Amino acid sequence: MKEHDDSTPEQNTAITAPVAEKGLSRRSLIKGLGAASAVAVGSGAITGFPMIWAQNIKNVTLRQFGTGVSNLNDIARKAKEDLGITLQLTALDSDAVAQRAVTQPKSYDIADIEYWIGKKVFPSGVMQAMDTTRLKNFDKISPLFINGKLTADSTIAQGTAPHTVGFVESADSVKFASEPTRWMTLVPTIYNADTLGIRPDLVGRPITNWRDIMDPAFKGKTSILNIPSIGIMDAAMICESMGEVSYGDKGNMTKEEIDKTIAILMQAKKDGQFRAFWKSFDESVNLMASGEVVIQSMWSPAVAAVRSRGVECRYQPLEEGYRAWGGGIGLAKHLSGLELDAAYEYIDWYLSGWVGAYLNRQGYYSAAPETSRQFMSEDEWGYWMEGKAAQGDILSPQGEVMEKAGAVRDGGSYEQRMGSVACWNSVMDENRHMIRKWNEFIVS
């Protein structure tokens, strides 16, 4: 239940804590506090770091939902501490997120969704574009999300590259703009490059390519993920690496490409190549840690989770490059007034560094690497972002030892990893056909 559901829009701008008390006239209070809050909003813009966040948003509750990766209670706690706002988090799997974003637009204030989900959700008109001029940290956002190029000479990867769905043409438009505009759909929060996870102690040979997952030596000991929209991409990386199928755009396959890919998967399944297909983070961790599989598609923190159980696990960089994904937070259409202000403030805070450092320490990347550096030690920055050997123990955000001194991150530096993205998670034009074929594969 939100604090001020019963207030009219014009009242929204200046409701503060005492409103909740009985006997005070809401209207008289607002008159007095209006000026004060205006000052508070203004002051944020002038000061540098550490920022003084607006005071009038103190008791606002924002309901955010998204995938488990970035819906972290620590972030909600810190937001309460720094901004005073209460974040109610709901974590769902990515399919459920897409579903809820479209079908229950009133049930959330902030959607934390992946870009490929955004490509589905935003055109349905349930969200509103963000005015980038209201975000002080906008220019700190990695160019990967602005023009798709990490460095000036990098090539743009296939699939739903975030910058292609990152902007719309105007405040009310639901049409994605071909180049950066003032109106952003999602402010990036978290992203990473995915590859195969392996058990170096059990595979018994160097793994260098995506096709290695199809090696008969690993029969019955492999797994891929059973989220069709992502699984098909891993499958495409594998088939391309095998030389069986060549793709125009792995993120937007033709019917024929889909059919060929699924046919290869079905044959492999029939031959008993796969042990299981996983759908959730912990399933993948358990499959790997228990030794059910020795090579599988995996997510970075799942690798860390396997290692934290004392089981050797490597996030193997592969010749063909990574499959990348990225998420962002966007505003629900119904947000207005004070809530909208609070949401902007929150998003700006998200970019201001603390959250970024937190996410970097988990093995993800933050949207504004520059700001997060201030919140990380030199050693942490070196290990996570620059691919240097750790000087001391590398701790997780919860303070557990993740890596000992001397460890080097699998895949190397930020530029090495995010610079060799082959394909972004995406949603295809032939999505319906793809799902049908995927179902066929699962049933077979």
Residues that bind other proteins (CB under 8 A): 93, 95-96, 98-99, 102-103, 120-121, 123-124, 220, 226, 228-229, 269, 274-279, 286, 290-292, 427, 431-432, 435-436, 438-440, 442-444
Rounded Cα–Cα distance for residues 226 and 207 (Å):
22
Q: Which is nearer to other proteins, 134 or 433 (CB)?
A: 433
Q: Which is nearer to other proteins, 78 or 269 (CB)?
A: 269
Q: Residue 416: is it exposed, middle or buried by C-beta count within 10 angstroms (0-12/13-18/19+)?
A: middle
Q: Which is nearer to other proteins, 40 or 311 (CB)?
A: 311
Q: Which is nearer to other proteins, 131 or 249 (CB)?
A: 249
CB 272, min distance to other proteins, A:
9
CB 72, min distance to other proteins, A:
23
Structure tokens at 112: 């934390």
CB 95, min distance to other proteins, A:
4
DSSP character string of 33-58: HHHHHHHHHHHHHH--SSP---STTT
Structure tokens at 191: 């992203």
Q: Which is nearer to other proteins, 99 or 173 (CB)?
A: 99
Amino acid identity of residue 375, one-letter, is F
CB 290, min distance to other proteins, A:
5
CB 266, min distance to other proteins, A:
12
CB 440, min distance to other proteins, A:
5
Q: Are 335 and 99 in contact (CB under 8 A)?
A: no
Q: Which is nearer to other proteins, 131 or 440 (CB)?
A: 440
DSSP character string of 269-313: HHTT-EEEEE-SHHHHHHHHHTTS-SEEEE-HHHHHHHHHTT---
Q: Which is nearer to other proteins, 123 or 412 (CB)?
A: 123
The distance in angstroms from the start CA to the end CA of the chain is 46
Rounded Cα–Cα distance for residues 442 and 27 (Å):
60
Rounded Cα–Cα distance for residues 203 and 221 (Å):
10
Rounded Cα–Cα distance for residues 295 and 200 (Å):
9
CB 10, min distance to other proteins, A:
33
